[in-house]
Amino acid sequence: MKQPALALLTLAATVATLSALPLARAQGAAGADAAKLGVELTPAGAERGANADKSIPVWPGNEVQHSGWAHGQLRAAHWKHKGDKPLFSIDAASADQHAARLAPGQLALLKQVKGYRMDVYPSRRTCGVPDFVADNTKKNVSAAKIGADGWSLAEAMVPGFPFPMPANGTQAMWNAKMRYRGVGMDFRNTVTSVAPRKGGSEWIRAGQEFTAYMPWGAKGSQPLSKLPKVEYYAYFAYNSPPALAGQALAIAFFLDQPGSETFYYFPGQRRVRRMPSYSYDSPQIGMENQYTLDEPFVFNGTIDRFDWKLVGKRELIVPYNAFGAYDFKTKFEDIAKADAIDPAFRRYELHRVWVVEATVKSGMRHTAPKRTFYLDEDSWNMLLAEDYDAQGKLAKVREGFLIPVYETGTCDVSAFVQHNLAEGRYLFDMHAAGTGADVRWVTEGSGPRFSPNFYTADNLRSVSER
């Protein structure tokens, strides 16, 4: 089917399946709103109950999702539902009959990527939050505030979801960005992978160590206004391929400032350069224009260039409990095939998601002037995104591989895949696949990487010139 017809089909499916429930009113209007959390709503603000046909079950509460797991062991092998079998599969031939529960980007992948298949499993609502996150989220019904600029996060009790009953798309996106992930992530061996050009065989495989530090993520309860106005700091240091080996960068993403502060170390020059324009849709160095700065984790960076519309809720088949991307013991080549991640390493389930549309603001520019994001109602993770080009054509599709994180007691999306439909290539990042070492979430920050001082230009030069 040609793309215009596909767009009409999926638009109709989207309209038909959006929830009829009204969008939540602005928070702080009444104490009764906070009382809903943990009763008719989950502590994160999701509907506690099942859907009409029970294919999405009742939220079971904060359950331990593993048995006997320790870091260094495969996460999937210790998951409580590891024995699940697929209910059915969707491929190009059956895509149309499932269109009501598929996003436009998923339909495009099924129809355009050779051999693409989605194996659909029983829905497991595995995402909870620790008690202190639940308590802070309830306080945020009256405490959280968007800044006078209309997009920045001015106040919240952290760690916690700022707007568990969002009134608009800006609030929903801040829930996604401020989900509890501990004080950070420390991945000492991960690989940014870009599939070959059509007709080629050479991958880009950029090996690196990566650390992210969230200064607001410490256990307990603190007003965001008393902390650094930073969403997170990040450090990358490449060890392969030769063209990138030795390059490193330190970057800060802010809660109330456009763009980011980026310092980049170039080993050939033995110097650190400040790169004020290295943000938003800037192409990442060494990735052949397949990867921009605001695409990691399905969306990354400040939200000031877009207007954000909260469309409503949808029941959608999405990546969920998708441990395959975190299988560090299986060979990379067995997981990442030429055109897509092998279906056996992707898991899909039916869940309710919030639909958020992003439209570039007047006077701003972006290579994707329109985007759609699909946010998990139970965890506020971004599970899926679609980017449209200046001609309104679907250009890129991202899927985030959500898993229950045993360290934090929450769910998170680290690993994700992005398909460039126009060029027939995909990238795979923030994963553990085939690396020999698991990714790690850190709840108790200690050591130099969990301090703002680590992310300065002087320190980047020091740690890079060893």
Encode pLDDT of 241-252 as tens digits: 999 999 999 999
Mean pLDDT of 156-180: 98
pLDDT at 16 over 60: no
Q: What's the length of the chain? A: 466
Percent of the chain exceeding pLDDT 70 equals: 93
Tokens 């359950």 correspond to what residue?
63
The pTM is what?
0.94
Other CB atoms within a 10 A radius of the CB of residue 453 amount to 8
DSSP 8-state class, residue 62: S
Phi-psi region of 60 (alpha: psi -120 to 50; beta: other; left: phi over 0): alpha
Distance CA 356, CA 350 (A): 18
Q: Which H/E stretch holds residue 136? A: helix 131-143
Question: Across the chain, how many H-helices and E-strands are there?
Answer: 7, 20
pLDDT category of residue 15 using cuts at 50, 70 and 90: very low
pLDDT given at position 13: 45
Residue 339 token pair = 């055109």
Q: What CATH number is given for 3-464 in this structure?
A: 2.50.20.10
Tens of pLDDT along 52-110? Answer: 999 999 999 999 999 999 999 999 999 999 999 999 999 999 999 999 999 999 999 99
pLDDT category of residue 20 using cuts at 50, 70 and 90: very low
Mean pLDDT of 195-218: 95
Distance CA 21, CA 1 (A): 33
Mean pLDDT of 299-307: 98
Distance CA 175, CA 142 (A): 15
Mean pLDDT of 260-267: 97
HSE, CB side, 13 Å, CA atoms: give it for residue 419.
25
Beta-strand pair 306-319/348-360: antiparallel
pLDDT at 272 over 60: yes
Distance CA 463, CA 235 (A): 11
Tens of pLDDT along 108-126? Answer: 999 999 999 999 999 999 9
Q: Is the peptide bond before 241 cis (omega within 30 degrees of 0)?
A: yes
pLDDT at 184 over 60: yes
Tokens 């869940």 correspond to what residue?
351
CA proximity to 415, closest of 442, 387, 383: 383
pLDDT given at position 31: 61
DSSP 8-state class, residue 160: S
In single-letter form, the type of residue at position 417 comes to: V
Residue 102 token pair = 């598929």
Structural domain boundaries in the chain: 3-464
Mean pLDDT of 227-237: 97
pLDDT at 171 over 60: yes
CA proximity to 150, closest of 256, 23, 224, 29: 256
Mean pLDDT of 123-152: 98
Burial class (CB in 10 A: 0-12, 13-18, 19+), 199: exposed
Instruction: At 396, give phi and psi (nearest 5°).
Output: -135, 150
pLDDT given at position 448: 94
Percent of the chain exceeding pLDDT 90 equals: 91
Measuring CA to CA, how many Å separate 308 from each of 151, 372, 373? 9, 9, 10
Measuring CA to CA, how many Å separate 265 from each of 210, 221, 250, 341, 349? 15, 36, 9, 32, 42
pLDDT given at position 9: 41
Name, in order, each residue with C-beta under 8 angstroms of 181's C-beta and a sequence gap of 6 or more: 212, 214, 217, 405, 408, 410, 412, 441
pLDDT given at position 33: 87
For residues 22 and 305, the model is more confident at 305
pLDDT given at position 310: 98
Residue 37 token pair = 């959390």
Using CA of residue 371, residue 376, residue 380, residue 383, what is the dihedral sign?
A: negative
pLDDT given at position 24: 44
Angle at which helices 104-112 and 3-17 pack, to 10 degrees? Answer: 140
Measuring CA to CA, how many Å separate 125 from each of 136, 321, 410? 22, 9, 11
Q: Is 454 helix (H, G, I), strand (E, B) or coil?
A: helix
pLDDT given at position 27: 45
Mean pLDDT score across all residues of the chain? 93
Residue 12 token pair = 């109709």
Please answer whether residues 57 and 49 qualify as being in contact, where contact means their C-beta atoms are separated by less than 8 angstroms. no
Tens of pLDDT along 384-443? Answer: 999 999 999 999 999 999 999 999 999 999 999 999 999 999 999 999 999 999 999 999
pLDDT given at position 22: 42
pLDDT given at position 25: 42
pLDDT at 343 over 50: yes
Mean pLDDT of 225-238: 97
Q: Is 236 helix (H, G, I), strand (E, B) or coil?
A: strand
For residues 182 and 27, the model is more confident at 182
Tens of pLDDT along 100-109? Answer: 999 999 999 9
CA proximity to 120, closest of 150, 98, 140: 98
Residue 277 token pair = 């324009």
Mean pLDDT of 127-155: 98
